[in-house]
């Protein structure tokens, strides 16, 4: 059961982190099933509350469900891969993830998607045409 749930989440996400879009096949660490609304806040372990996440995004997200938008200094809900459309909230500027919205900026900041090591990793994937 756990295996099939994992497969369903993986396939629904096309094998990419639903936050930073990193390809799971290229990562040295296994991707995780993120509880979009964390268990700490009553989030169920159901397909509708799960997202495929790389280890970095899942670790920085932790059990948080909201974060501060660095531009407006306001509390925002985190990007919800089941409810929100990625391209509405985010865009790429080369290997840098840009938040289009307060939700996008708050999520990118909390999940530290633009840490220099992560940007370098994406740049190398882009050079190899894998991202
Ligand atoms: Zn990620």
Structural domains in the chain (count): 1
pLDDT at 1: 52
Ligand 1 centroid to residue 11 C-alpha, Å: 16
pTM above 0.75, yes or no: yes
Supply φ then ψ for residue 66, to 5 degrees: -155, 160
Ligand 1 centroid to residue 54 C-alpha, Å: 4
Ligand 1 centroid to residue 1 C-alpha, Å: 24
Distance between CA atoms of 39 and 72, rounded to whole angstroms? 28
pLDDT at 31: 96
Distance between CA atoms of 72 and 83, rounded to whole angstroms? 23
pLDDT at 28: 85
pLDDT at 26: 81
Assign 3-class secondary structure to 57-97: HHHHHCCCCEEEECCCCEEEECCCCCCCCHHHHEEEECCEE
Ligand 1 centroid to residue 19 C-alpha, Å: 5
Range of the domain at 59: 2-127
Ligand 1 centroid to residue 17 C-alpha, Å: 5
pLDDT at 8: 96
pLDDT at 27: 84
Q: Which residue has the tokens 């045409």?
A: 129
Positions of the chain with pLDDT lower than 50, given as ranges: none
């Amino acid at each position: 059961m756990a295996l099939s749930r994992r497969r369903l989440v993986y396939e629904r996400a096309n094998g990419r982190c639903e936050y930073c879009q990193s390809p799971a096949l290229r990562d040295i660490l296994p991707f995780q099933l993120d509880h979009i609304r964390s268990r700490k806040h009553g989030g169920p372990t159901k397909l509708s509350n799960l997202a495929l996440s790389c280890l970095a995004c899942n670790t920085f997200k932790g059990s948080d469900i909201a974060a501060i938008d660095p531009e407006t200094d306001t509390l925002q809900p985190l990007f919800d891969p089941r409810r929100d459309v990625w391209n509405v909230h985010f865009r790429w500027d080369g290997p840098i993830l840009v938040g289009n919205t307060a939700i996008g900026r708050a999520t990118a900041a909390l999940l530290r998607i633009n840490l220099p090591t992560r940007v370098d990793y994406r740049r190398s994937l882009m050079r190899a045409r894998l991202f």
